[in-house]
Amino acid sequence: MSLDNNKTIRKIQSFVKRSGRLTEGQKYGLNDLWPKYGLDPIADQIIDFQTVFEKCQAVILEIGFGNGDSLLQMAINEPEHNFLGIEVYEAGVGRLINEAHKHNLTNLKIIKEDAVEILKNNIADDSLSGFQLYFADPWHKKKHHKRRIVQAEFMDIISSKLINGGFVHMATDWENYAEHMMEVLEVHPHFKNTLSAHTYSLRPERRPITKFERRGERLGHGVWDLIFDCEK
């Protein structure tokens, strides 16, 4: 399914740019190593994955990777996949690029822009094998729920970019957001729960546990994983 270009997509401002002092290592990643790992998409120009990645293989997109720990580990563990990470948090971007360089990864690229705009303007339809969203801002106050990135309009965009048979994997430690994600995904015509209706998945082995998640587990916090197939 192609996204109807005549359909107006509501601007989703789901993130707040965090600023702060960068370490020398983070600056090195953002500046010196950016040409190796960073992408600077040109407006309305589709990214050619066959050109930007060393190997032509399935591409998995992750939005909002934070400090990059889990995305780094996935790229290391799954050399048969290419990974595209989008994040606006500069410290996290710099840190991930440094770590990727240490491991000499060739299957990871980073974009430091608004993910929704990149999806709409720079990623081709039917070009992604998977989409990952881990521990996105839950915007827990009810008046801010409209700022949650997981909305029907956003999932329309994601479904158009995924190949038939691709996957969506989300995880959150906020139960109300998990319920919201489940509701949005289950009513969407192109996503099907890999388990039975309204059933959360166990954390798959391929999704690494972050330090943040381990700390939450020690405090008794729950984590909800949702894994859906894209069928269109």
* The pLDDT of residue 189: 97
* The pLDDT of residue 139: 62
Rounded Cα distance, 232 and 165, in Å: 8
3-state SS, residue 80 = coil
Those residues whose C-beta lies under 8 Å from the C-beta of residue 82, and which sit 6 or more positions away, are 49, 53, 55, 57, 58, 59, 60, 107, 108, 109
The residue extents of the domains of the chain are 24-230
Return averaged pLDDT per consecutive 10 residues of the chain, 232 residues in all.
44 53 93 97 96 98 96 98 97 97 98 96 98 88 76 97 98 95 98 97 95 83 96 96
User: In terms of CATH, what superfamily is 24-230?
Assistant: Vaccinia Virus protein VP39 (3.40.50.150)
* The pLDDT of residue 3: 42
Question: Distance from CA of residue 185 to its chain's centroid?
Answer: 16
**Residue corresponding to tokens 């039975």:** 196
* The pLDDT of residue 63: 98
Give me the catalytic one of 125, 126, 137, 225. Answer: 137
* The pLDDT of residue 20: 67
Catalytic annotation present for 137:
yes
Nearest to 230 by CA among 151, 125, 90: 125
Rounded Cα distance, 140 and 97, in Å: 31
